[in-house]
Structure 1
Amino acid sequence: MKSLMTAIRASVFLMILCGLIYPLATTGFAQVLFHNQAEGSLVTQNGNVQGSELLAQGFKGPQWFHPRASAAKYDPTASAATNAAVASKDYVKTVKDNVDQLKKENGNMGNTIPADLVTTSGSGFDPDVSPEAAKAQVPRIAKATGISEDRLITLINQQTKGRSLGIFGDPRVNVLDLNMALQQLK
């Protein structure tokens, strides 16, 4: 009986510590030290939430920069990669269809199409594209908006983020931030 009571007290103590005190403490520290990240890294403009800098969202229409394709169709409740092997017929067909769609939207792009415009990211929600992928969309956006290609390329260069800590990853452009900056130009 003594062992049973000890086990019950230990269980109650650990439930309170691990199930209540620890989550409240870590949430409190996160809110104080990393408030923006704890709230989802939301991007606001004029007091309205436009999206999260961590999640891609689909932009429709020729006047916007488009993000990478999403296997989850930009639904954050359905995060998914394609899980298709690069040599599979399905994957090859998907990439070919994406290339065809890209050429249809942007005109003849030659043989150098940035891979991130026709392939999905691992999570399906990569919010960034390479500067080359953003620049490949410039002719379409210039035609749709009337903004000069030079001004759009300058905008992309201004929005380009370098490697993390100067050595990790590749230069990238957040599509939401880029489209918000584009909206300011209009």
Structure 2
Amino acid sequence: MAILRPAIMTLLLLTIVTGGLYPLATTLLGQWWFPAQAGGSLITRDGEVRGSALIGQPFHQARYFQGRPSAGSSDPMASGGSNLAPGNPELDKQFAERIAALRAANPESSRQVPVELLTASGSGLDGQLSPAAVAWQIPRVARERGLKAEQLSRLVAANTETPLPGFPGLPVVNILKLNLALDALRSK
């Protein structure tokens, strides 16, 4: 038993430190230094939570910009991809259906449908698109809302987030923030 005592004490000590103290310290520091992010990056308007800036929201009405397709219907509890291989006939069928639906809803846009609007994200929860994929939808949203395309282009540019200088990444547009700004624009 004397031989096992140091091993058991080490196990208990490391369990307390790594299973209790460290998670507690990182949680408290995260909430202190980054309260919005630690709270889920929630977006509120008029005192009401509209969603998280980190999780994609489904927008099915033609008057809104739409995000990437989701294998889990943008349900955080059903996160994940479809796991269909690139050569799977079901995936080809899904692409054909998405292309037909996007072209029917966006007849004024170019024939080249951005790949982001066809492929589901790996997590199924992406809330951002490239500015090019958002710009492809501008004619439809302008028609549905009775707005000028130039006005929407400026709104997209104002809601484009770029990485900090010196850091890798591409510009993205948060679809939830953009649609909330679109609703605010219309109410003015």
In the superposition, the TM-score normalised over structure 1's length comes to 0.91
Q: State how far apart, in whole Å, the 1-side matches of 2:86 and 2:108 are.
A: 25
Q: How does 1:135-150 map to 2 (within 5 A)?
A: 135-150=135-150
Q: How does 1:40-59 map to 2 (within 5 A)?
A: 40-59=40-59
The one-letter code matched in structure 1 to 2:35 is H
Match of 2:78 in 1: 78
* Equivalent pairs, count: 186
Farther-moved stretch of structure 1 (161-170 vs 173-182):
161-170
Match of 1:155 in 2: 155
Q: How does 1:49-128 map to 2 (within 5 A)?
A: 49-107=49-107, 109-128=109-128
5+ unaligned residues in a row in structure 1: which ranges?
A: none
Q: State how far apart, in whole Å, the 2-side matches of 1:166 and 1:135 are.
A: 26
Match of 2:17 in 1: 17
Q: State how far apart, in whole Å, the 2-side matches of 1:75 and 1:88 are.
A: 24
Q: State how far apart, in whole Å, the 2-side matches of 1:167 and 1:13 are.
A: 39
In the superposition, the TM-score normalised over structure 2's length comes to 0.90
5+ unaligned residues in a row in structure 2: which ranges?
A: none
Q: Per-residue displacement from partner, 1:78-107 (whole Å, max 9, x unpaired)?
A: 111122222321221111111111112222
Measured on the aligned residues, the alpha-carbon RMSD in Å equals: 1.7
Farther-moved stretch of structure 1 (163-172 vs 45-54):
163-172
Q: State how far apart, in whole Å, the 1-side matches of 2:180 and 2:69 are.
A: 19
Farther-moved stretch of structure 1 (172-181 vs 29-38):
29-38
3-state DSSP class of the match of 1:116?
Answer: helix
Farther-moved stretch of structure 1 (175-184 vs 14-23):
14-23
Q: State how far apart, in whole Å, the 2-side matches of 1:166 and 1:91 are.
A: 37
Q: State how far apart, in whole Å, the 2-side matches of 1:130 and 1:8 are.
A: 53
